[in-house]
Amino acid sequence: MTVKEFLIDNYVFIYELIGLFIMIGIGVHISDRIKKLTMWVIVLIAVETVVFRIERWTHTFASLSLLRPMMTAANYSIYPVVLVLLMQITVPHTFSRKRLLLLLIPEFVCVPLFFTSQWTHLIFYFHDYNAYSSGVPGLQYLPYLLFGFYAVVMAVRNFKYFSKSTSSARSVMAYIIFFPLIGVILYKALETDRDYNALFTSSIVLYYMYVYIHMSKIDPLTSLLNRQSYYKAIQSNSRSVTGVVSVDMNDLKYLNDNLGHEAGDNALQSVSEIMLECSGQKGTPYRVGGDEFIILYTDASEAEIAQAVSDMREKMEGTEYMCAFGYSMRQPGETIADSIRLSDGRMYEDKARMKAGRAYK
């Protein structure tokens, strides 16, 4: 295959890769870590595409070239690494060094087997007349089992991370993550001679679009949903909200004026982390003002909400910060605005008791 033929056959793929480079360069919402990981994914996908085309080119040789088994082994080896990097992009929580090394053990074991298989005949080998043969029965499936293992780990990791997201967010991420994997399975099941990289590249492009849409809903300092998301939630989810918690942080102005805005930012982040940790599966916290927060609860009982507030109070006691809380349960015929007014009133009562030096209870 000539360079001209390669460029024509892969025009859309090349267009997407270049577009990704441009988006990474101009992105302000994407962290440097995600940018670096994505750059590595793009490089690996580009390398794999070249390897795939070279390997297909060696099919046309009248006799075996060592290039063919090396390119085949490289094909088998690159895809799992791409999946490992992708799962760290779609889920922002990093692996610890130890966990990452444990995750890569199957890849470390299989790569030498792939590259020596031409001589060991364990997985595959090629005859002198350039024909393919399977290796030891069962082991010929090792490359697909390796890919499948990392695909399953990626699916489980993403499912756990997005379990607390909205149903629409989970649906979007499922589409972005699983459809390329389904495409790979279909390609293999139908025995089509296709490269999978266009699927992975399209998946990354869609992911970046999703991130930019998602980040417009997030408060950049606290990582909580922002005021616009709050207004949208009370409009679109009004029927399912059963309870409201109002939270107000004490002494933020004092921290900003006397210790600097960095101290105030650290305080807001600490308080937000506690709310995220303690609000539970049914609660969604929003930052609606400088030091004001609202947690909307869906299909939650009063016992569950009261316990969440108690947990947040307890966690706050282990910090140097203080927050006032108030909650209300939505009664039949009440609007969300009614519930918010009641929870705000109780929160201000709690704030007054705290200023007077009385106990929470």
pLDDT at residue 245, rounded to an integer:
93
Q: Is residue 232 pLDDT above 70, yes or no? A: yes
Domains in the chain, please, with CATH?
3-215 (1.20.1070), 227-355 (3.30.70.270)
Mean pLDDT score, 31-40: 80
Q: Is residue 74 pLDDT above 90, yes or no? A: yes
Q: Is residue 59 pLDDT above 80, yes or no? A: yes
183-187, 193-197, 282-286, 294-298: the lowest-pLDDT one: 193-197
pLDDT at residue 1, rounded to an integer:
58
pLDDT at residue 64, rounded to an integer:
92
pLDDT at residue 144, rounded to an integer:
87
Percent of the chain with pLDDT over 90: 28
pLDDT at residue 27, rounded to an integer:
65
CA dist., res. 294 & res. 136, Å (int): 61
Q: Among 73, 144, 63, 157, which Cα is nearest to 114's? A: 73
5-9, 117-121, 298-302, 322-326: the lowest-pLDDT one: 5-9
pLDDT at residue 303, rounded to an integer:
92
pLDDT at residue 177, rounded to an integer:
74
Single pTM value for the model:
0.64
191 against 169, higher pLDDT = 169
pLDDT at residue 86, rounded to an integer:
82
Say if residues 292 and 302 touch (Cβ distance below 8 Å). Answer: no
pLDDT at residue 194, rounded to an integer:
63
Q: Is residue 360 pLDDT above 60, yes or no? A: no
pLDDT at residue 166, rounded to an integer:
65
Mean pLDDT score, 92-117: 88
Q: Is residue 167 pLDDT above 90, yes or no? A: no
pLDDT at residue 131, rounded to an integer:
92
pLDDT at residue 318, rounded to an integer:
85
Distances (CA, A) of 127 to 54, 65, 73, 304: 18, 10, 16, 67
For residue range 308-328, list pLDDT tens digits in order: 999 999 988 888 888 999 999
CA dist., res. 217 & res. 292, Å (int): 17
Q: Is residue 361 pLDDT above 70, yes or no? A: no
What secondary structure does DSSP assign to 107-162, as a single string?
HHHHHHHHHHHHHH-SSEEE-TTS-EEE-STTGGGHHHHHHHHHHHHHHHHHHHHG
Q: How high is the mean pLDDT of the chain? A: 83
For residue range 140-150, list pLDDT tens digits in order: 889 989 988 99
Mean pLDDT score, 151-178: 76
Distances (CA, A) of 352 to 122, 211, 340: 75, 41, 18
The encoded tokens of residue 243 equal 């309870």
pLDDT band at 333 (very low <50, low <70, confident <90, very high): confident
